[in-house]
Amino acid sequence: MTGVVRPSRRSLLTGGMALGASLALPGCAYIRDDAPTDAPLPPSAKAEIDGDLIYFNWADYLAPKVVKGFQEEYGVKVIESNFDSMEGMYAKLAAGNQYDIVFPIAKWVVKLRREGKLRAIDPAQLQNAEQVFYPGSYFNEPWYDAGSQVSVPFTVYKTGIGWRTDKVSSMTGSWDDLWNDEARGHVFTLDDQDEALAMAALLLGYDVNTAKASELEEIKKLLISQKEYLRAYSSDDINNLVGGDAWVHHMWSGDFLYMKDGVAEDPTKFDFQAPSEGVPINSDAYAIPANAQHPGTAMVFIDYLLRPENAIKNMGYLYYPFPVRDALPAFAELTADAPACNVEISDLENENVFRLLGADEVQRRAAVWTEVKAS
């Protein structure tokens, strides 16, 4: 399997968006006020095929055989477009491009819903709805979508630390391990504003979304103190570990599993920990834009993806867990060698989720992150 390393979606996010930025961000779409709206949601469509599916997702983010199976079973075409950042996805939607299904990260569900850009999804229309919306399910009332009105959960994942067991023997199960002496010069922190600040915030006992000046100042000092241990800030976690540059890497659980299971020549050399101070948990969702032309097909597609057998196929491809009830045991099996990569639904109930912040808060956080990287 070596040599066919699929770079992590998020490393493309930072690298790829760089090149795609000029295309992904049509300036005029941004310079307008997409103000919050109280208008009622466009009603849910019935789960009935009403045309080909115009699909808008990260590249390579569903198992191709699952998508192919949908086309064969329902006799429709899946017309695929890709985004390489949430900002890029948002800009295209804001510019009026029409897609039938999109895959926003949780906090972007908040933003899209607030601006009236999503259509309601009625679970009663979905035969497999009870796989995610069973009684007592976290997703009946997720933090990002009150009443679960516009989204259906897609994946969940956490951020932790991957490391080389043959190089480092003094891991302590804390975020402090990113300051490990044995790995000095071989430590990587994710090149991601939210993740980097969250890691330091957790170590200091603060909220992962903090925008308080005094707390940010402490976070800045802490992150700058890490520089003498650091090799680089990078989100290309898979390649950095496999290439031997990283011995201790701040990384995403799904990337770790993919690397260990699908890429590494000797998987026993790698392990993953979810630090005891708590870890950021994030989730992606399915959503149907308000201006979708074929919302019926999109409903059928979501229903199809919720079938446990399809969720299992997708998880075996993406290595990120799907919160589909009857598929979770299969994921636990996938994580048998690295149980810390497993995400329990109960993990979602902690407070370490990345919320949608006000622009002033984002800018304060960004200023700190800039100073850390530039110093």
Partner 1 sequence: MAVSAQPRSAQRTSLWGWLLAVPSGWMAAFFVSSIVIVVLLSFGRTTNDGFPAFATSTANYRALWNEVYLELFVRSFLYALAAVVISVLIAYPVAYTIARHGGRYKNALVAAIVVPFFASYLIRMYAWKALLSDDGAVNSGLRSSGLSDGVTFLNTPWAVIGGLVYGYVVFMILPIYASLERLDLSLIEAGKDLYHGPVRTFFSVTVPATRPALFGGVLLVFLPAFGDFVTAQLLGGASTYMIGNLVQQQFMEGQNWPLGSAMTVALMVALAVLMVVYLRATSTQARES
Q: Does residue 192 touch partner 1 according to CB under 8 A?
A: yes
- 157 forms bridges with which residues in the sheet? 282
Q: Does residue 374 touch partner 1 according to CB under 8 A?
A: yes
Q: Does residue 193 touch partner 1 according to CB under 8 A?
A: yes
Residue 57 sits at φ, ψ, to 5 deg, of: -145, 175
**Sole binder of partner 1 in the list 31, 39, 124, 336 (CB under 8 A):** 31
**Sole binder of partner 1 in the list 59, 79, 232, 332 (CB under 8 A):** 232
- 284 forms bridges with which residues in the sheet? 105, 155
- Comparing CB distances to partner 1, the nearer of 77 and 114 is 114
Q: Does residue 30 touch partner 1 according to CB under 8 A?
A: yes
**Sole binder of partner 1 in the list 10, 107, 220, 231 (CB under 8 A):** 231
- What DSSP string describes 32-101? S------SPPPPPPPS---S-EEEEEETT-S-HHHHHHHHHHHT--EEEEEESSHHHHHHHHHTT---SE
Binding mask 330-359 for partner 1 (x = CB under 8 A): ----------------------------xx
Q: Does residue 191 touch partner 1 according to CB under 8 A?
A: yes
**Binding-residue total with partner 1 (CB under 8 A):** 51
Residue 38, C-beta contacts closer than 8 angstroms, at least 6 positions apart: none
Residue 55 sits at φ, ψ, to 5 deg, of: -110, 130
Name the burial class of residue 20, with classes exposed (0-12), middle (13-18) and buried (19+) by CB atoms within 10 angstroms of its CB: middle
Q: Does residue 230 touch partner 1 according to CB under 8 A?
A: yes
- Other residues' Cβ atoms within 10 Å of the Cβ of residue 317: 18
H/E stretch holding 152 reads: strand 151-164
Q: Does residue 220 touch partner 1 according to CB under 8 A?
A: no
Say how far apart CA 239 and CA 258 lie, in whole Å: 11
- Other residues' Cβ atoms within 10 Å of the Cβ of residue 19: 11
Binding mask 95-124 for partner 1 (x = CB under 8 A): ----------------x-------------
- Comparing CB distances to partner 1, the nearer of 165 and 363 is 363
Q: What is the contact surface with partner 1 in residues (CB under 8 A)?
A: 7, 14-19, 21, 25, 27, 30-36, 85, 87, 111, 185, 191-194, 227, 230-234, 236, 239-240, 242-245, 358-360, 362-363, 366-367, 369-371, 373-375
